[in-house]
Amino acid sequence: MLDFVLLVLMITMPIFWLRIIKKKSWGKIKQELIPIKKNPFVELVGGVKLFFALLIGFLLLSMVFNLSGINDLEKVSEVIAINSQNITLYLIVIIIMVFVEELFFRSFLVKQIGLIPSSIIFGIAHIGYYSIAQVIGAFALGLMLAYWFKQNNSITQNYLGHLLYNLFAIILYILSG
């Protein structure tokens, strides 16, 4: 239930802010929250490049966590195992959540408060996995996603890269468990 409330807030808060506070038209809101400026091939290639950048970031973070002794990612596996019992529903939720996260954290928050603050909030938003490594990792990868968005101004590239990364991570957790 809490996830549903957060989902609704992450969709309505930017719309409320831009429409009521900033007094922007519906067209401007759509243009700001869902920027798509490139052709589909460029968007696809950008999303795949972002996925590989996130994957490299994940590998580097994993090495740092292993060397530093921060290794509580088994808690993430437990949460994924519980949620993935109905795999079809879980995948639908992931597809929707990744889009909403990109809409809220990148299309909205990056523009409103900047790269680092939006990434800190993104990291904190992952506290439900009960893992310090997950929160730190979400912050670091959120920073990469924020930077990519700032450079490319494309929610499509961010969505594809983030979605591929999450699907890869889930497959990795399921196979290792």
pLDDT of amino acid 177: 61
CA distances (Å), 174 to each of 28, 67, 89, 104, 105, in order? Answer: 41, 24, 16, 28, 27
Q: Is the pLDDT of residue 98 over 70?
A: yes
Task: In whole angstroms, give the CA distance from residue 25 to residue 85.
Answer: 42
Q: What is the pLDDT of residues 137-163, one digit of tens each?
A: 999 999 999 999 999 999 999 999 999
Task: In whole angstroms, give the CA distance from residue 131 to residue 80.
Answer: 12
Structural domain boundaries, residue 155: 44-176
Q: Is 37 a domain residue?
A: no
Q: Is 149 a domain residue?
A: yes
Task: In whole angstroms, give the CA distance from residue 69 to residue 74.
Answer: 13
What does the block give as tokens for 158?
Answer: 């961010």
Q: Is the pLDDT of residue 8 over 90?
A: yes
N- to C-terminal Cα separation, the chain: 27
Judged by DSSP in three states, 140 sits in helix
Q: Is 72 a domain residue?
A: yes
pLDDT of amino acid 97: 93
Q: Is 129 a domain residue?
A: yes
What does the block give as tokens for 173?
Answer: 């957790």
Residues 6 or more apart in contact with residue 164 via CB below 8 angstroms: 47, 48, 51
Q: Is 162 a domain residue?
A: yes
Task: In whole angstroms, give the CA distance from residue 42 to residue 44.
Answer: 5
Q: What is the pLDDT of residues 67-84, one digit of tens each?
A: 998 878 777 777 777 766
Contact between residue 84 and residue 174 where contact means Cβ atoms under 8 Å apart: yes
Average pLDDT over residues 39-55: 96
Q: Is 23 a domain residue?
A: no
Domains in the chain: how many in total? 1
pLDDT of amino acid 37: 74
